[in-house]
Amino acid sequence: MTDSTTDSIMRIEKLYKSFGALKATDDVTLELRKGEIHALIGPNGAGKSTLIAQIAGSLKPDAGKIFLDDEDITQLSVAARAVKGLGRCFQVSSLAMPLSVRRNVMIASQAITGSSFRFWKAVESDKALIAAADEAIDMVGLLDRANVPVSNLSHGERRQLEVGCALALKPKLLLLDEPMAGLGAGGSERLTMLLESLKLEIPILLIEHDMDAVFRLADYISVLVYGQIVAQGSAEKIRHNPLVREAYLGASDLDATDLKDD
């Protein structure tokens, strides 16, 4: 099914998940390859979040397998997957509001710079830990805000921090759930550039409503409708795919101009 020869970092094979009668994930197979941004699009209720949840591990599929670097992670817990290098950002920000930016990122660094069952050394004086965290914070350009409690951050900054937390894991790939949601023009601009710069080291599976962003960023797109992948291919292919147009016609979250102008 792949039209590219680059080797895959994550593979999802024949994933099924249903809630009662509703088939939320119906025979989904897709692949994320090194150096690319793979966008997963689809109208509301297409089952994007369910799919993400299964990839992240907070939801167990009824059938099918998920591979990370050819290793089967289908049965692993959220935490275990994170350690294996699956970085994730949430649709609704999931940061610890009262804690500082650095504190939020340090937790992620902790997992990769050693065990969390160290009861003695104070984290404040843990040079390695702080350095690792600050590196990630720097990547998302929040270093000057490192000591600010998250509750005082702007919405845009929180988005950036989410990405920063994921990066602190030194992940093999990023799972981004609508990172652009609610960002102003400036904010989404900054984030777009960040992701652009990231994708070479860290491939990204992106779920996004903002079609501008999708078509600007994504090298490869899968279209999810009623839990099924109805189309898959390069951004260009998808842009012209009648199925997709049909699926999206009248769907508010994709404005028609995107599809006409070419």
Q: Does 79 bind other proteins (CB under 8 A)?
A: yes
Nearer to other proteins, 31 or 126 (CB): 126
How far apart are CB 242 and other proteins at their closest, in Å? 38
H/E element, 233: strand 228-234
Question: 40 forms bridges with which residues in the sheet?
Answer: 207, 222
Q: Does 146 bind other proteins (CB under 8 A)?
A: no
Judged by CB under 8 A, how many residues of this single chain contact other proteins?
A: 43
Q: Using DSSP, state whether 239 is helix, strand or coil.
A: helix
HEC sequence for 29-85: EEEEECCCEEEEECCCCCCHHHHHHHHHCCCCCCEEEEEECCEECCCCCHHHHHHHC
Give the whole-angstrom CA distance, residue 7 versus residue 70: 10
Interactions with other proteins, residue window 27-66 (CB under 8 A): 56, 58
Nearer to other proteins, 61 or 171 (CB): 171
Q: Does 119 bind other proteins (CB under 8 A)?
A: yes
Q: Does 20 bind other proteins (CB under 8 A)?
A: no
Stretch that binds other proteins, among 21-29, 35-43, 81-89, 248-256 (CB under 8 A): 81-89
Stretch that binds other proteins, among 32-40, 41-49, 62-70, 112-120 (CB under 8 A): 112-120
Question: 15 forms bridges with which residues in the sheet?
Answer: 28
Torsion angles phi and psi, residue 86, rounded to 5: -100, 105
What residues line the site for other proteins (CB under 8 A)? Answer: 56, 58, 77-80, 82-83, 88, 90, 94-100, 103-104, 106-108, 110-112, 114-124, 126, 129, 149, 165-166, 168-169
